[in-house]
Each structure stands twice: as C-alpha cells, then as structure tokens.
Amino acid sequence: METEQEIKNKSPLRKEFQNLLDKDFKDRKLKENEIVQAIVTEITKNFVVVDCKAKMEGMIPIEEFKNDKEFEKLKVGSQIDVYLERIESFKGEIIISRDKARKMKAWKKMEKVFETQEEMTGYITGKVKGGFIATVEGLPCFMPSSQIDVRPLKRIDHLMNTPVKVIATRIDKNRGNVCVSRRAVLEKSKNAEITEALKNIKEGDIVENAIVKATTDWGIFLDINGIDVLLHVSDLSHGRVKKPSDLVTIGQKLKVKITKIDEKTNRVSASVKALIEDPYENIEKKYKVGEVYEGTVTKIMDYGAFCKIDEGIEGLIHNSELDWKNKNIKPSKILSVSQKIKFKIINIEKETKRISLSYKATLENPWEKINNKIGTEVKVKVNNITDKAIFAEMVETGLSGMLHYKEISYDENIEDLKKFKKNELLNVKLLEIKDDKIRFSKRALDKDPLDWFSDNKKKVGDVITTRIHEVLKTGVKVSIDKDKKLIVIIRKADLAKDSADARPEVFSPGNALDAKITELDFKARRIKLSVKAAQIDEEKSLIAKFGEGATKSGATLKGIFEKAIGKKDKKKK
C-alpha cells in the first residue's frame, strides 16, 4: 500500500516543479574557487545574505565589508562579486567570501599593472619591521621604509590611512607577496617635471643666477629654474679647494657653465672654473724647471706641503724635498701654513696638472761640504746606541752616520758599545758616503796591528817567533808583536808534529814558540799560525841537506839531527 508521501511525489504538479527546478540549476554554471556574481537579499546585524543562484542563499560575515566604505553603499538588491569556496558543505550550505573575492580581483589587477607600471591608489594601514603595510585594492602589500618618499622622513603620521599613489615594484606569485613604492611615483613625477625643464637648457649654456641650495665636502648643489644641479668641488677652481663652504654661502648666486646633461638620469653638472682661463695652459712660458721662485704654503699634510705658486696653481713639496738631513721629517716641523718661502721647480706635468717643488734645493747642501772630508778625522756626537752600532751626528754639518761595533777597535768586540754614552763627543774617521749614508770608524785613527806584517816584511809561509800569552784547553794564545796587540790562537792540533807532544799544558806563558804563517787575510782580518807546519818544514830542510847520503847508509833521522847539531857546535868552537 503506498504511503501518503509517495502519492504526493507522484502528483503531476510535484513532478512539474521538480523538472523546472532541475532545469534552472542546470543552467546555473557555478564552479568552486572562482568569483561569481551575487545579489544582496538581506542585511542582518551579523551577516549579509546573498543569492548566488545556488540551491540556497549564502551568508557573508558583515566584518568582510567593514575594511572600506563599501558597506555604507550596500543595500538589498546590490550586486557584488563573491568568491565561491564550496557549492555545498557537509552541512549542505554554500560557502562564499567577499574578502577573498576582493583580494583575488586585486591580485589579478596587480599582475596586470606590474607589467605596465600603472599607478594605483593605496592606504598605509600599519607599520612592520623594515617598512609599512599598504592596502591596495583590498590587497595587503609591503612598502619598504626607503620607498615611502624621495628623502628619509622622521614622521609619517600625515600619510597614515590616507590615499597615496603607488607602483608595484615586485610580485612573488608563489608566496603571494607584493612590494609597492610611493617613492617611484614621486620620482616619476619629478623626472617628468625635470625633463620638461631640461628642454630649456643645453650643454655649454652659461647661467648667470644659479642659486646655492646646499654644500658638502665634495661639492655644491645649485638650483637652476627648479632643476637640481651639481657643482663638484673639482669644478670650483683650477686650484685646490679645501672646503666648498669656504668659498660660497647658502642662497648665494653664481655664474656657472652647464658642462653635462645626462638624458637617462636627468642629472646636470655645472662648472665655475670652465668660465676661467686654465692657468696651466701656458705655464711653461711663465715657470721653468730648475728655477727658484717664491710662494705661500697653503696646506700641510703628512706626506708633504702644498705651496701656492700663482692664482689657481699649486705645487707639492714632498717630505724628501724638505730637508737635506732627514728624508722622512714631518713637514710641520719645518713649514707652517701662510709662510712665504722660496722653492725650486723640479718637475711640471701639464696634463695631470701636477708640479713638484723642492724646498731644500734653496738651502745650503751639507753633503757637498763633506765629500772632500772622506778619509779625514771628524768630530761627532752620539745620538743613539743600538745592539750593533752607534749612530752619531757630525758636529760641523749635522748629518748623521753609523759607527759599527767592528769599527770601534781592531778587536772587533761587541762589548765595546757599552763604553759609550748618549751625547758623548767622539773623534772618528769618515770612511765612506754611499746613497746618502755615512760610515764612521774610530779604530781607523789608530795604527792597524796588522801593519806589523808589512813593516817586518812577513808573508804566508814565513816562520815567526811568538810568545805564549795564555794557555787554553783547546790550544794556546800567542802574541806576535811586542805590544801584544796581535793575539792569535794556535789550535791544539797545530802545536806539534807528533800528537803526543801537542799538549797545551806543556807550555807556559812567556815561552817563545816558533810558528809558520799558514793564512794571512787582511780583509777578513784572519791570521793562522802552525807550530806543526814549522816543524815539518824544518825536518824537510834537514833531510834535504843531510838525508841523501845518510839514508843510503841506514842512518836515522835522530842521527842526522845530532850530526847536524854536532857540526854546528864544532863551528862555534
């Protein structure tokens, strides 16, 4: 038996309504994740009810309309775009969003204007790290602090929540991030104004009333008919300019020449010195290399001093050209600013506009004085004592030189340095001048002990008689001359031919000892003596004299010596 409900479902009216409804839904082309049009059917306290031509009406929270002034104009029957998330949820409801529709629409528009660099209106709604949040067409965008104005702003209260023109500078589709710039709009507008103004000037024009706007250490900014023009410090004068603020003041009017206009950047450069004849143009006619002139010291640096030669012309006196005695002297110790001096021109580079001067060339050269004093005795004052030498200043000229410890005495003992004190006066011999360096010698004033060999006509191979000065474990020290200035060590191995006799302890100080000169190097001051070599030579001499016949008869060397000694005794008798 059919129920009442089944009977109703089979009624002709019911079927007709169902067919009309199915046909209506079939004509409605709704797709999820797209923007669809909806009509407002009701506005409640918390929701806006809209008809999307779905199976049921959708409800949008009223907060999604309060971000801008749209809610004030909203009424029943208004047509709006909404974002369709789900046609039917698990509850059977349609899920839509006005906010997402607005953002999707704004994003699509943002992609188009990013390509065309079209200006858009946005609102700066908040501050974040490194910049601000700007809402553009309902889409939150990031505006870096550097992009809010053409110059840094201390306060931006006047820009908050007010319409500002911006340009999209970067879009990240993957992250859904957009960067915008207000500065780009301002620069674009400014550049348009400058481009228009630049039509009235050209390179080479002379401007009579350029107004000084600002000064820096590297130049001056001028205002020429609303255009910012740079006058670099190097274009102020042909001479050296320490600070532009020393020459001009804010608001002052200058006569300048337009030297460069960059059409790409709209930057304009001007020059004052371009209106003045270059003093370097004919400098070789007025100033000659090698001549002496007068000038004024204008600037002192660590590496030298600048001197004004003429109007717009300066030259450099390097440290090495300040003093004959010290190449690295501080300029401030010799010269001062505004001091009038004489100088000698040593070089002119016309192309680079560099002139090298010498102050010391106008002073007496002490080096010329001492060239004829090489090999003579001079008086010096000790300035400094180091580990291996004494540095002293010549009393007569003030030039400094070195006295090495080996030149103090012929002993070449480094301990001799301890005998001297600072500011002590010494008599020394000027040995050599090389590359502006002076060498002194104290021992050169005394007779060289090695002269004993030339005085006594002794050479390598000669046998000399010495006196034992000191007995050592490794040999003996012997004195060659009477004054005991020539002390030489004879090694243990050179004390006797036979090793049994080469014992230092058998010798006593004061004993005479014959030794052969085996080495004599005057340059290296090296002397080598050998008793052993003297004995071998004496033996060879005796054998040569008596050994030929004695050797054949079987005579011994002892017999030969005794025989030789006996003959000598007989001759004496």
- CATH architecture of residue range(s) 200-275: Beta Barrel (2.40)
Whether the per-residue pLDDT at 568 is higher than 70: the answer is no
Q: How far apart are CA 474 and CA 483, in angstroms?
A: 24
* Per-residue confidence (pLDDT) for residue 341, from 0 to 100: 92
Q: How far apart are CA 45 and CA 390, in angstroms?
A: 104
The pLDDT-based confidence of 572 (bands split at 50, 70, 90) is: very low
* Per-residue confidence (pLDDT) for residue 274, from 0 to 100: 83
* Per-residue confidence (pLDDT) for residue 19, from 0 to 100: 66
Q: What is the biggest distance separating any 2 CA atoms in the chain, rounded to whole angstroms? A: 187
Q: Answer for the pair 96, 132: CB distance below 8 angstroms, yes or no.
A: no
CATH superfamily, domain at 457-573: Nucleic acid-binding proteins (2.40.50.140)
Nearest of 61, 64, 60, 54 to residue 92 by alpha carbon: 54
Q: How far does Cα 497 stand from its chain's mean position? A: 70
Residues 6+ apart with CB under 8 A from 378: 394, 395, 396, 427, 428, 429, 430, 440
The H or E element that residue 116 is part of is helix 98-116
Q: How far is CA 545 from CA 332, 510, 533, in A?
A: 84, 32, 19
340-393 pLDDT, tens per residue?
999 999 999 888 888 999 999 998 888 888 888 888 889 999 999 999 999 998
The pLDDT-based confidence of 565 (bands split at 50, 70, 90) is: low
Among the listed ranges 53-57, 96-100, 192-196, 488-492, which one has the minimum average pLDDT value?
192-196
DSSP characters over 204-239? T-EEEEEEEEEEETTEEEEEETTEEEEEEGGGT-SS
Pull the structure tokens for residue 460: 């390598």
Q: How far apart are CA 570 and CA 556, in angstroms?
A: 21
Q: Answer for the pair 426, 392: CB distance below 8 angstroms, yes or no.
A: yes
528 strand-pairing partners: 519
In percent, how much of the chain has pLDDT > 90? Answer: 13
* Per-residue confidence (pLDDT) for residue 34, from 0 to 100: 75
Q: Answer for the pair 297, 306: CB distance below 8 angstroms, yes or no.
A: yes
Q: Where are the beta strands (DSSP E) in 217-303?
A: 219-224, 227-232, 253-262, 267-271, 292-300
Whether the per-residue pLDDT at 448 is higher than 90: the answer is no
Pull the structure tokens for residue 527: 């002397």
* Per-residue confidence (pLDDT) for residue 29, from 0 to 100: 63
Range list for CATH 2.40.50.140 in the chain: 23-101, 117-188, 200-275, 288-362, 366-445, 457-573
- What is the assigned CATH class of domain 366-445? mainly beta
Mean residue pLDDT of the chain comes to 81
* Per-residue confidence (pLDDT) for residue 198, from 0 to 100: 73
192-219 pLDDT, tens per residue?
767 676 777 888 888 888 888 888 888 8
What 556-562 contacts at long range (C-beta under 8 Å, 24+ apart), as own/partner pairs, is none
- CATH architecture of residue range(s) 288-362: Beta Barrel (2.40)
Q: How far apart are CA 98 and CA 495, in angstroms?
A: 120
Kindly report the number of other CB atoms within 10 A of residue 189's CB atom. Answer: 13
Q: How far apart are CA 308 and CA 89, in angstroms?
A: 91
Q: How far apart are CA 152 and CA 183, in angstroms?
A: 11
Nearest of 492, 491, 486, 489 to residue 522 by alpha carbon: 486
Q: How far is CA 247 from CA 9, 211, 243, 244, 280, in A?
A: 103, 14, 8, 5, 22
Range from 87-91, 534-538, 550-554 that averages highest in pLDDT:
534-538
The pLDDT-based confidence of 142 (bands split at 50, 70, 90) is: very high
Q: Count of residues for the chain?
A: 573
What 483-489 contacts at long range (C-beta under 8 Å, 24+ apart), as own/partner pairs, is 483/449, 485/410, 485/449, 486/449, 486/450, 486/452, 486/527, 488/527, 488/528, 488/529
Q: How far apart are CA 166 and CA 534, in angstroms?
A: 110
Q: Give me the CATH topology for the region 23-101.
A: OB fold (Dihydrolipoamide Acetyltransferase, E2P) (2.40.50)
DSSP characters over 179-201? EEESHHHHHHHHHHHHHHHHTT-
Q: Give me the CATH topology for the region 117-188.
A: OB fold (Dihydrolipoamide Acetyltransferase, E2P) (2.40.50)
Pull the structure tokens for residue 354: 């560099």
58-107 pLDDT, tens per residue?
887 877 776 666 777 788 888 887 877 777 666 667 878 777 777 777 77
Q: What angle do CA 526, 476, 466 make, to 5 degrees?
A: 70
Q: How far apart are CA 84 and CA 94, in angstroms?
A: 8
Predicted structure pTM score: 0.47
